[in-house]
Structure 1
Amino acid sequence: MDKNIYIYILVMGVVSYAIRAIPLTLLKKPIKNRFVRSFLYYVPYVTLAVMTFPAIIDATRSPVSGIVALVTGVVTAAVGFNLIKVALSCCAAVFVTELIMQLLNMIQ
């Protein structure tokens, strides 16, 4: 089993490299299709969202406080607060929500 891990790492490296190298070799001229360009433009944002949103909900003791923090972050960012104020408001929202839930014996 110990020798197989190197094969797994090698395969993972080859696949990761191929995913990045194949488009560079196949696509020599610029992409002009509007749909494909807009699709490629939003891929990093979607990938970040897919990784971040479940982590936000699971990072706290209760999913409820994670959802409250998510809503708080979206609202404070939409209002125009800077990153520090958004982060602090999310932390405060989690703290207050879990404190209330603990007082109501909803979480241990």
Structure 2
Amino acid sequence: MKNNIYVYIMVSAAVTYAIRVLPLLFMRKNVTNTFIKSFLYYVPYVTLSVMTFPAMIEASASLAAGIASFAVGVLLSFLGANLFITAAGSCCALYVLELILC
């Protein structure tokens, strides 16, 4: 089959559309199962974490600096810092560690 970018775009659009439409077609009533409700509640957070975590670790020149900046971010979030402070602290930690390590 000839590589055609339009075919890829159409298949991607169909899959994305199907993922959004199929639950509307098959779920007529509200979800009452607590397990399914909690699962659906945490799906966006888990998806974001799965996409972000490898990039945080591998984006730096040093693996140790990436892991340390991730640890700083986790520590700041556990201490109650907001998202901006957590992200800025992780970036600053990565910058300082890469200056030291590289």
Same fold (TM over 0.5): yes
> Which stretch of structure 1 is more off in the superposition, 19-28 or 81-90?
81-90
Q: Deviations over 1:73-94 (max 9, x none)?
A: 1111211223332222212211
Residue number in structure 1 paired with 2:16? 16
Change (3 A) 1:36 1:82: closer
Residue number in structure 2 paired with 1:61? 61
Identity among equivalent positions (%) equals 50
Distance 1:46 1:72 in 2: 20
Bigger relative contact order, structure 1 or 2 (CA pairs below 8 A, ≥6 apart):
2
Letter in 1 for 2:96: V
Name the count of aligned residue pairs: 101
1:11: how far off?
A: 1.3
Residue number in structure 2 paired with 1:97? 97
Q: What TM-score do you get using the length of structure 1 for normalisation?
A: 0.84
Residue number in structure 2 paired with 1:31? 31
Larger radius of gyration: 1
- Structure 2: gaps of 5 or more residues: none
1:63: how far off?
A: 1.6
- Asked if the contact 2:62–2:101 (Cα under 8 Å) also holds between the matched residues in 1, the reply is no
- Asked if the contact 2:70–2:90 (Cα under 8 Å) also holds between the matched residues in 1, the reply is yes
- Structure 1: gaps of 5 or more residues: 103-108
RMSD over aligned Cα, in angstroms?
A: 1.4
